[in-house]
Amino acid sequence: MTPMEQAPLGLYVHLPFCVRKCAYCDFASFAGREGDMARYVDAVLKEARIKSGLSRPIATLYLGGGTPSLLPPETMDRLLRGLRCAFHFLPGAECSCECNPGTVTKAFLETLKKGGINRLSFGAQARQPELLSLLGRIHTWEQVEQSVALAREAGFDNINLDLMLGLPGQTLADVQETLDAALSLSPTHLSCYGLIVEEGTKMSRMVESGAWQLPDEETERDMYELCRSVLSRHGFFQYEISNFSLPGFACRHNLDCWQRKEYLGLGSAACGFVGSVRFENPPGLDDYLKGKPAEETVISPSEARFESMMLGLRMTEGVSNADFAARHGMSIQAAFGEKLNKPLAQGLVEWSGDCLRLTRRGMDVQNAVLVELMD
């Protein structure tokens, strides 16, 4: 067995159930399918037993969705026990679970704690009731506060809150109020995501019809800058375009993904890659439950090199040339040659020691930088 085969893996488990669909959501998630949860967990555990044949230890687990906190505690308990039977988790493995404040109960949190989950991520989004309602969220800010209090009682001290920027009608004062409210809950980590209007969603229809108006680009940039300055003043460091943490609390699962480390995905719509093969499970719940196999794609060496840049440039420290060379057998300069010249000359990327990273201006136009690096 080569060292690479023994290297630890990340493990993502997709739990696609939601109470109802949020206005902006185009994730593979489904409302009204709670009756399928037990059968779904059976299917995930079957997939886990098959994939555990790789005999590689697990460094991080991430339960995402969907709304993992919609699972009844006994179903979550069965899932966590099953995963621990199938895989060997490294001591100190980071194990995260996404939670929706509208669905969290004491019994559920105690089940997570008992099952080895040590990091929680709450989709808090915004302090203002009118923005939560516009987003179609099922929770109130009071439920965010109650959920965080319950989480602390259950013994969780590593807590992320997801917040959203650039919402229709959202003002800078709203963002400041949301940040203040979020910080008062003493999270270890905050994710501040700009709204992306996805085709086919209610958000897209309302924006296109003119019924909802998005803030202009400058205001959205100001919101982002406000997050950066307020969070920096509170001791958070930005380690990725949208992610901020107290020292020692960066999400290891996500860092490993951005460093393009191998991971397994279980459940509908879950992907993963091992070696040069990418696996994508069917996005539809019924297809997955019927056992439709994952699609497998071979990743070419040039695609792998581009992926390393696409993911790695999201991190504020950028892409280490030494790591890149160890992984791909050539330096960043050898892989991208003259394609680096324009973004370097425009001040969108820069070298910082061994690392190529986006500048502050480059972070606003990351896609334009990536287009320059494409074949």
Could you tell me if 266 and 6 are in contact, meaning their C-beta atoms sit under 8 angstroms apart? no
Closest CA to 227 of 145, 166, 159: 166
Q: Per rule CB under 6 A, is residue 65 in the interface with ligand SF4?
A: yes
The C-alpha atoms of residue 209 and residue 188 are separated, in whole angstroms, by 39
Task: Identify which of residues 19 and 365 has a Cβ nearer to ligand SF4 in the complex.
Answer: 19
Cβ at position 102, least distance to ligand SF4 in Å: 9
Cβ at position 124, least distance to ligand SF4 in Å: 12
Helices assigned H by DSSP within the chain: 3-6, 37-51, 73-86, 106-114, 129-135, 141-153, 172-183, 202-209, 217-233, 252-258, 285-289, 301-312, 321-328, 332-336, 341-345, 360-364, 366-373
Cβ at position 305, least distance to ligand SF4 in Å: 32
Cβ at position 126, least distance to ligand SF4 in Å: 13
Q: Per rule CB under 6 A, is residue 22 in the interface with ligand SF4?
A: yes
Q: Per rule CB under 6 A, is residue 29 in the interface with ligand SF4?
A: yes
Q: What's the burial of 76, exposed, middle or buried (CB within 10 Å: 0-12/13-18/19+)?
A: buried
**Using CB under 6 A, which of 60, 69, 96, 100 touches ligand SF4?**
100
Q: Which stretch binds ligand SF4 (CB under 6 A): 24-32, 262-270, 336-344, 362-370?
A: 24-32
Task: Identify which of residues 69 and 238 has a Cβ nearer to ligand SF4 in the complex.
Answer: 69
Task: Identify which of residues 5 and 286 has a Cβ nearer to ligand SF4 in the complex.
Answer: 286
Could you tell me if 165 and 195 are in contact, meaning their C-beta atoms sit under 8 angstroms apart? yes
Number of residues counted as binding ligand SF4 (CB under 6 A): 10
CB within 8 Å of 321: residues ≥ 6 apart: 331, 332, 333, 354, 355, 356
Instruction: State the CB neighbour count (10 A cutoff) for residue 311.
Output: 16
Evaluated on CA atoms 351, 353, 359, 363, the torsion sign reads: positive
Q: Per rule CB under 6 A, is residue 121 in the interface with ligand SF4?
A: no
Cβ at position 264, least distance to ligand SF4 in Å: 21
Q: Per rule CB under 6 A, is residue 66 in the interface with ligand SF4?
A: yes
**Using CB under 6 A, which of 27, 193, 237, 279 touches ligand SF4?**
27
Task: Identify which of residues 100 and 243 has a Cβ nearer to ligand SF4 in the complex.
Answer: 100
Phi then psi dihedrals of residue 209, to 5 deg = -75, -10
Task: Identify which of residues 33 and 152 has a Cβ nearer to ligand SF4 in the complex.
Answer: 33
Cβ at position 65, least distance to ligand SF4 in Å: 5
Q: Which two three-digit tokens encode residue 335?
A: 């892989």
Cβ at position 289, least distance to ligand SF4 in Å: 18
Positions that interact with ligand SF4 (CB under 6 A): 18, 21-22, 25, 27, 29, 65-67, 100
